[in-house]
Amino acid sequence: MTKSLSAARPVVFGLVLLGCHSWVAAQSQAQGVSADNAPAPSNGIEEVVVTALKRDTSLQETPISISAVTGASLANAGVQDLTNLTQAVPSLTFEDAGPAGTRINIRGIRSVGEPTVGIYYDETPVSGAVGSGNDSGGSTPLAKLFDVQRVEVLRGPQGTLYGSGSMGGTLRVIFNKPDLSGYEAAVDADALNTSGSTGGYDAEGMVNIPIVSNMLAARAVIYSEHAGGYVDNTFLNQQNINTYHNDGGRLLLRYMPLEDLTVDGSYFYQYVDGQDPTWYASAGPYNSLAQTQATVTDRLQIYNLTARWDFHRFVATAVISDTERKTSDAGDVSAFIEDYENNPDDCAFFRGGGNPCSPAQQTAFNAYVASKVPSALVDVQTIYNPTGEIRLSSEGKNFLDWTVGGFWSDRTTHANNSEVLADPTTGAFLPQPQSNVYTRLIFDHLKQIAGFGEASAHLTDALTLTFGARYFDYTRDVGGSTPLGLDLVGASDAPFREVSSSQHGWVTKTNLGYQFSNSLLVYATASQGFRPGGVNQVLGLPNALTPYSSDSLWNYEIGTKTSWLDNRLQFDIDYYFINWSNMQVQGQTPNGAFSFITNAGAARVKGLEVDLTAEPLENLQIQANTSISHAYLTEDQVNSNVLGPGVRGDDIPYVPRFTAGISAQYTMPLTSYFSGMARIDESYIGQSFSEFNNSDGFDTQLPAYSLTNVRIGLESPQKDWGAYFYVNNVFSKVAITYSQASAISLGENTVTSQRPRTLGLNFRKSFKF
C-alpha cells in the first residue's frame, strides 16, 4: 500500500499546486489584477437536475448521498463503460472478471446471490445471469456509455423506490432522448494500442431526425469496438487471446401527441464476443496456463415503452420493459479432472468400492480420466425478464411532495451447464453435443410484485421530513435435471425435479433534511434494503439446504451538502453505519465441484464519503472524492447445515478500506477557432482480499493500486469538435480487479486485471441542423 500511495503523491501534489495557483489567479482577477485578458465571469458550477426520487430535484438540494456524472464529463474523461466510474464516485468499486463477469459494489455491501446494487438503463431494471451457482450479481450487463445524458449513483439502500437488489445502492444510466425540434448527428472515433497487444478501434455514431415537427422524432445510436488482446496462453502457445468485440446500438422514438403527454419507445442491442482476460499468478502477469479456450459471448436486448402524462398537479408514468439476454462462458476444468489420474485413493473410491484397485483397474481408471480432458465447463443461459411499473408523482414543490406506485417483474432463466471436450492442441471445443461428458439443465423463475410510496413533508421552509415504504412479495421456482452425469464431479443422472420458495415483507425509509441556506443542506437517513432469497439448483442437496431466505440491512447516515465562493466550490460529506443480517453466503459440496447459497452470519459497515467539485478558474475544473470504510463480520458464518468461510472480525471480500479519485481539466483559449485542453485522472483502490480468511487456503490478496490517465487535445470553444491524444494507465500498473483460487483450479490463483498502458487518438464531432 505504501508503494502505491507514494506513486500517486507526485500527481496529487501537482494537482493541488495547480488548484492553488489557479485559485490565487481567480481571486486576483476578482480584485482587478491582470484582468485585461481574463475570461468572462463564471456563474459557478452548473446545476444538475436528477430524477433519483422519481421526480425532478436539484442534485445539491436532494437530501441523500448521490453522485451524478454528466454525459459531457464522461466524454471528457474518455469513460466508455461503468467500470471506469470508480475515479468519479466515492464507495463505488467493481469486481471486473472480464466480459459478462462484472459485479458492482457500493459501500462494502458485497455477497454472492442476487445483485446488491440495482442497475437501471433509463426505466428498465436489469440483472445478471443466474448461473449454476445462483450468483446473478456477478454478471452485471454493462452498456456502452455513448450519447448519455448522465449517470446517477445512489449510495446506500434504495429499497423503497427501487426494490430488491438495491441494498448497497442504485446505479442509473439515463440516455439522451430524441429531440423533436431539430436534426442532430455526432461521431466519436478512437484508434488505440495496448502494450503487448495488437491495435484496436472504437467507433460510435448518433443521428437525430425529427419526423413530425414538435410531435415525433427518432434517435439512433450505433457503435463498434475492437480491443486487441494482451494475455498470452503459454500452455497452448497462443498470443493475445483475449481479443474483444463489442457491437451494438439503440433506436429511440419520442412521440408527443399532446403538449403534456410524452411517449418514449426504445430498443437496445449489444453483442459482446471474446475470451476472458484471466491469467495465472504463478505464470506471471498476462500469462495463462489454461488447457482450453475461455470463450465468452453476451447478447443483450432491451425493449422499453414509457408514457409520461403531466396533469400539472401530478405526473403519471407507466413503464413496460422486456430484457432478453443470452450468455455463454467457459472455464477450464482440465486440472481438476486430471488430478484423479494415477491416484490410487480415487480409483479405490470410484472403481474399487473402497478397496484398493488392481493394476488392471487402475489402468482402466486412468484411461477413463484421460478421456475427459482437456475439457471446460460451458454455461449457456437464456434470460427473459419482462417488468412493469406504474407510478404517480407530485409536480413542483408543495407542502407534500410524493410518489406512489406499483412494480412487477417476471424473470425466467434456462441454463445448460455442460462439460465439453476440447482439442488438446488448440483448446477449441469439439462439436457439441457429441463432445459433452456432463450436462445439467437448469430452470429458474423469479416473480416479484411490489407496492411503494414515498412522501416528503416541508414542515417549514427549511425542514423536510420524508417517509417511504415498500411492500414486496416474491416467489421463486427452481427446477433441473442431469441427463448426462459424471461420477468424477459427483453428479449422477437425475430426472427433472422442481422446488419453490416464497417470501413477503416491508422495507421503510425515514429522512430528515434541513436547508440552512441555499448553500448548506444537512440530512439524516435511516433506511432498509433487501434482496430476494431463492432455491439452490444443486441436485442432491439435503432438503434443509435447498431454500435460502432474503437478507436485509439497516443503513443509518448523516450528511451535509455545501457550496462556497459563489458556487465555485461544492463540498459534500457523509458518514454511514450499516447493520447487515441473515447474510446470503456461499457454501460448497465436499468435493468443491458445486456451490450453493445459504444464510449465515451478520456484518457491519462503517464509512465516511467525501465529494468535492471546484471551478477556481473559468476554464479549470477539479473533482475529487474519497471513501474510508470498514466492512467486517460481527458473527461467524455458521448454521446447523454449513460451516461458512467467515468468522467474526473478518473483512468482507473485495472491499478496500480506502478509495480515492481526483481529476483536473484545464481548457486554454488559443484562437477564435479552437482551444487547448489538458486533463489528468488519478484513482486509487486500496488493498482487499478474495475470501473472508485463509482457513481453506484459497484466500488471495488484491494489492492496492493507483491508475493515472492523461488526455490532451484541441477542441472548438463551442465543444462541437475535438481531437485528442490520451494515455490510460500511464505507468502500466498491474492492477488486479479479480482473483480466485478454488478446488476447481487446484488452488491455482487466477486473476483479472486492468488493461496495461493504452495509447489512443480520439476524434469527435457533433452537428446540429
- Residue 34: exposure state from Cβ atoms within 10 A (0-12, 13-18, ≥19): exposed
Cis geometry, peptide bond prior to residue 374 (ω within 30 degrees of 0): yes
Q: What is the longest distance spanned by two Cα atoms in the chain?
A: 98
For the segment 210-245, what is each residue's pLDDT rounded down to a tens digit?
999 899 999 999 999 999 999 999 999 999 999 999
Residue 42 maps to a domain: no
**Ramachandran angles phi, psi of 181, nearest 5°:** -100, -15
Residue 428 DSSP code: P
Residue 237 maps to a domain: yes
Cβ density class 517-531: b for 16+ within 10 Å, e for less:
eebebbbebebbbbb
The total domain count for the chain is 1
- Residue 189: exposure state from Cβ atoms within 10 A (0-12, 13-18, ≥19): middle
Residue 26 maps to a domain: yes
Residue 50 maps to a domain: no
- Check residues 544 and 471 and name the one with the higher pLDDT: 471
Looking at the DSSP bridge assignments, the partners of residue 406 are 390, 451
For the segment 490-523, what is each residue's pLDDT rounded down to a tens digit?
888 888 888 888 999 999 999 999 999 999 999 9
681 pLDDT more than 90: yes
User: Cα–Cα distance between 149 and 119 in angstroms, integer?
Assistant: 16
User: Cα–Cα distance between 583 and 633 in angstroms, integer?
Assistant: 10
C-alpha cell, 100? 459478462
Residue 41 maps to a domain: no
Mean pLDDT of all residues in 538-545: 65
**Residue among 139, 146, 141, 161 at smallest CA distance from 66:** 161
Ordered DSSP codes for 264-310: EEEEEEEEEEEE---EEGGG-TTEE--SS--EEEEEEEEEEEEEEEE
269 pLDDT more than 90: yes
As a residue count, the chain comes to: 769
Mean pLDDT of all residues in 162-177: 94
Mean pLDDT of all residues in 147-161: 95
Q: Are 210 and 250 in contact (CB under 8 A)?
A: no
Residue 491 DSSP code: B
**Residue among 29, 210, 225, 91 at smallest CA distance from 146:** 225
Residue 661 maps to a domain: yes
At residue 480, the pLDDT reads: 87
26 pLDDT more than 80: no
C-alpha cell, 139? 454478471
Residue whose entry in the numeric block shows the C-alpha cell 450436462: 439
Residue 101 maps to a domain: yes
- 70 Cβ contact partners less than 8 Å away, ≥ 6 residues apart: 48, 149, 150
Query: Sorting pLDDT into bands at 50, 70 and 90, what band is 5?
Result: very low
Which CATH number fits the domain that encloses residue 330? 2.40.170.20
626 pLDDT more than 60: yes
- Three-state DSSP class for 350? helix
User: Cα–Cα distance between 603 and 607 in angstroms, integer?
Assistant: 13
**Other Cβ atoms within 10 Å of 698 Cβ, number:** 18
Domain coverage including residue 340: 2-32+55-455+462-543+552-768
**Ramachandran angles phi, psi of 147, nearest 5°:** 60, 50
Q: Are 711 and 726 in contact (CB under 8 A)?
A: yes
Mean pLDDT of all residues in 115-123: 95
Residue 272 maps to a domain: yes
Cis geometry, peptide bond prior to residue 433 (ω within 30 degrees of 0): yes
Q: Are 156 and 576 in contact (CB under 8 A)?
A: yes
Mean pLDDT of all residues in 286-294: 96
> Rounded to 10 degrees, what is the CA torsion of 288, 293, 294, 296?
140
Looking at the DSSP bridge assignments, the partners of residue 148 are 175
> Rounded to 10 degrees, what is the CA torsion of 483, 488, 489, 495?
20
**Is the pTM of the predicted complex or chain greater than 0.85?**
yes
Ordered DSSP codes for 600-650: ---EEEEEEEEEEEEEEETTEEEEEEEEEEEEEESS-SB-SS-B-S--TTP
At residue 519, the pLDDT reads: 94
- 45 Cβ contact partners less than 8 Å away, ≥ 6 residues apart: 563, 567, 568, 569, 570, 613, 614, 615
% of residues, the chain, pLDDT over 70: 92
Mean predicted lDDT score pLDDT of the chain: 90
At residue 538, the pLDDT reads: 66
Q: Using alpha carbons only, what angle is made at residue 634 by residues 630 and 640, rounded to the nearest 5 degrees?
A: 140
**Residue among 531, 739, 521 at smallest CA distance from 109:** 531
In Å, what is the CA distance from 35 to each residue of 18, 41, 408? 20, 11, 60
User: Cα–Cα distance between 744 and 62 in angstroms, integer?
Assistant: 48
